[in-house]
Amino acid sequence: MSKEIPYKIYLEEHEMPKQWYNVRADMKNKPAPLLNPGTKQPMTLEELEHVFCTELAKQELDDTTPYIDIPQEIQDFYKMYRPSPLVRAYCLEKKLGTPAKIYYKFEGNNTSGSHKLNSAIAQAYYAKKQGLKGVTTETGAGQWGTALSMACSYFDLDCKVYMVKCSYEQKPFRREVMRTYGASVTPSPSMETEVGKKILLEHPGTTGSLGCAISEAVEAATTTEGYRYVLGSVLSQVLLHQTVIGLETKIAMDKYDIKPDIIIGCAGGGSNLGGLISPFVGEKLRGENDYQIIAVEPASCPSLTRGKYAYDFCDTGKVCPLAKMYTLGSGFIPSANHAGGLRYHGMSSVLSQLYDDGYMEARSVEQTAVFAAAEQFARVEGILPAPESSHAIKVAIDEALKCKETGEEKTILFGLTGTGYFDMYAYESFHNGTMSDYIPTDEDLKPGFDSLPKMD
Ligand X SMILES: *Cc1c(COP(=O)(O)O)cnc(C)c1O
The smaller minimum CB distance to ligand X, of residues 78 and 101, is found at 78
What is residue 354's three-state secondary structure? helix
The smaller minimum CB distance to ligand X, of residues 51 and 301, is found at 301
Site for ligand X in 383-422 (CB under 6 A): 386, 388-389, 417-418
The residue length of the chain stands at: 456
Nearest of 391, 399, 455 to residue 423 by alpha carbon: 391
- Smallest gap from Cβ 224 to ligand X, in A, equals 25
- Smallest gap from Cβ 274 to ligand X, in A, equals 8
The smaller minimum CB distance to ligand X, of residues 258 and 370, is found at 370
Site for ligand X in 224-243 (CB under 6 A): 233
For 17, phi then psi, to 5°, come to: -60, 140
Other CB atoms within a 10 A radius of the CB of residue 86 amount to 26
Q: Please name every residue paired with 161 in a beta bridge, in sequence order, or none if there are none.
A: 137, 185
DSSP state of 137: E
Interface with ligand X, residue 268, by CB under 6 A: yes
The smaller minimum CB distance to ligand X, of residues 116 and 160, is found at 116
The smaller minimum CB distance to ligand X, of residues 174 and 410, is found at 174
Q: How many residues bind ligand X (CB under 6 A)?
A: 19
Q: Please name every residue paired with 310 in a beta bridge, in sequence order, or none if there are none.
A: 325
Distance CA 167, CA 188 (A): 10
- Smallest gap from Cβ 245 to ligand X, in A, equals 10
The smaller minimum CB distance to ligand X, of residues 274 and 448, is found at 274
Distance CA 264, CA 411 (A): 11
**Contact residue for ligand X among 83, 134, 187, 269 (CB under 6 A):** 269
Interface with ligand X, residue 317, by CB under 6 A: no
Interface with ligand X, residue 116, by CB under 6 A: yes
The smaller minimum CB distance to ligand X, of residues 268 and 334, is found at 268
CB 306 within 8 Å of CB 445: yes
Number of H helices and E strands in the chain, helices first, is 18, 15
- Smallest gap from Cβ 114 to ligand X, in A, equals 4
Distance CA 420, CA 437 (A): 19
Distance CA 229, CA 221 (A): 5
Distance CA 207, CA 188 (A): 8
Q: Could you tell me the CA-to-CA distances from 419 to 27, 203, 216, 387, 390 in Å, in that order?
A: 33, 33, 28, 8, 10
E strand or H helix at 199, and its extent? helix 194-202
Q: Which residues, including other chains, have CB under 8 Å from residue 434's CB and lie 6 or more apart?
A: none
- Smallest gap from Cβ 190 to ligand X, in A, equals 22
For 366, phi then psi, to 5°, come to: -90, 150
**Contact residue for ligand X among 59, 84, 137, 143 (CB under 6 A):** 143
Query: What x-and-dash track marks residues 336-365 binding ligand X by CB under 6 A?
Result: -----xx-----------------------
- Smallest gap from Cβ 102 to ligand X, in A, equals 18
Stretch that binds ligand X, among 64-72, 165-173, 268-276, 427-435 (CB under 6 A): 268-276
Interface with ligand X, residue 114, by CB under 6 A: yes
Interface with ligand X, residue 270, by CB under 6 A: yes
Interface with ligand X, residue 101, by CB under 6 A: no
The smaller minimum CB distance to ligand X, of residues 31 and 98, is found at 31
Interface with ligand X, residue 174, by CB under 6 A: no
Interface with ligand X, residue 267, by CB under 6 A: yes
The smaller minimum CB distance to ligand X, of residues 258 and 351, is found at 351
Distance CA 133, CA 247 (A): 32
What is residue 363's three-state secondary structure? strand
Q: Which positions touch ligand X (CB under 6 A)?
A: 114, 116, 143, 233, 266-273, 341-342, 386, 388-389, 417-418
